[in-house]
Amino acid sequence: MKHFKKGLLAAAALLVLSAVTASAAAAPYASSSTAAHIKHPADANAQLKIIAEAEPLWKDEFVARWDAGQTPQPHLMRFNRRLTHIAVTDLDHNGRLELLFRHAMTLMDISGPHAAGVVDIPIDISLSAYEISADGRLERLRAENGYDWPDLMNLQPLSEIDEHGTRWHHVRTVTVSRSDYFTGKAPSYTYTASYQRVALDHGTLRCQLLAVEKGSYRDVDSPSTCRKINVSASVFDGDPAHTNMSGRQFQQTYLYQTFDEALLPPSSIRWVSGDELNRDPHEALAASWQGFVYGIIDGKG
């Protein structure tokens, strides 16, 4: 049934893409199916203006822009400001734009030259999401945390549409930590890879944990030499055989083999740095939305 349902959805997506391609040939600025409810550029521009003018709401996501003496979100002080990114999207396909924030921090005190393979992997992730409401105001959305926050920068194209019409996007979130165990003179690094799915559903950013993989990294001199050892994984599908599997067993599961499949080609999400948003909110928001709307047609994203 899973294969049949996915096949139907893929066929439907192919028909949509055919229509998008045809309209794009006739009109170079035609929007993709992902934003089909945005009928005219003026609609998007009006919403982008609302988001930009709601700066008193979303500026709390940037420690550098806090008012003197104010700490509206103290937990953000531990994150690296350079790693804050934003994206303008319409993930739930309701025609009302969303503003997504991704925060991250990485290992700060890695010693020696032998950690290039893990230095850019986050040790902690946070997020927030805002959406234009039905009455035209930007509102912060409630977010559900499924085991741990997903790394929204790894958000994949539309992966599935369930029986309720909820549009799910798969996310693989990888975090790393330094272990007390040392190999020779070099520290050991452990990792967690969370296989999640994310959806915007009735004003809530939902996150569900589908599987988790844990292990250690070895030979971390560079990303190309970094490899996994001591891998164990569990898929949360109710099958006892899918608990505490080896890495090889995990790779044989249906979830692992189909996790990167999508109903639409990559990708309609364009992330912009927090620094860009701080410099010129209007320009940064427009650039992100432009990447979202036209990404499928021009190959960007």
Rounded to 5°, the CA angle 157-160-164 comes to 130
For residues 91-100, average pLDDT: 92
Q: What is the pLDDT of residues 14-49, one digit of tens each?
A: 433 333 333 333 333 333 444 456 767 889 999 999
C-alpha distances out from residue 17 to 14, 210, 262, 281, Å? 5, 28, 13, 31
* Residue 145: predicted pLDDT: 73
* Residue 53: predicted pLDDT: 95
Stronger pLDDT, 249 or 223, i.e. the higher one: 249
**pTM as predicted:** 0.80
pLDDT surpasses 50 at 129: yes
Percent of the chain at pLDDT exceeding 70: 77
* Residue 299: predicted pLDDT: 38
- Highest-scoring range by mean pLDDT, 144-158, 168-182, 226-240: 226-240
Q: CA–CA separation, 263 vs 267, rounded Å?
A: 11
Q: What is the pLDDT of residues 193-226, one digit of tens each?
A: 999 999 999 899 999 999 999 999 988 888 888 8
Stronger pLDDT, 159 or 230, i.e. the higher one: 230
* Residue 188: predicted pLDDT: 80
Mean pLDDT of the chain: 81
* Residue 110: predicted pLDDT: 66
Reported confidence tier of residue 184, pLDDT bands at 50, 70, 90: low
Percent of the chain at pLDDT exceeding 90: 46
Q: What is the pLDDT of residues 49-83, one digit of tens each?
A: 999 999 989 988 877 777 777 777 888 888 888 89
Domain boundaries, the chain: 2-298
Q: CA–CA separation, 291 vs 289, rounded Å?
A: 5
CB neighbour list of residue 300: distance below 8 Å, 6 or more residues apart: 270, 291, 294
Q: CA–CA separation, 40 vs 47, rounded Å?
A: 12
Reported confidence tier of residue 107, pLDDT bands at 50, 70, 90: confident
CB 269 within 8 A of CB 7: no
Identify the CA nearest to 79 among candidates 108, 119, 117, 111: 108
Query: Across the beta sheet with 138-140, what order do the strands follow?
Result: 138-140, 122-132, 98-106, 85-89, 272-273
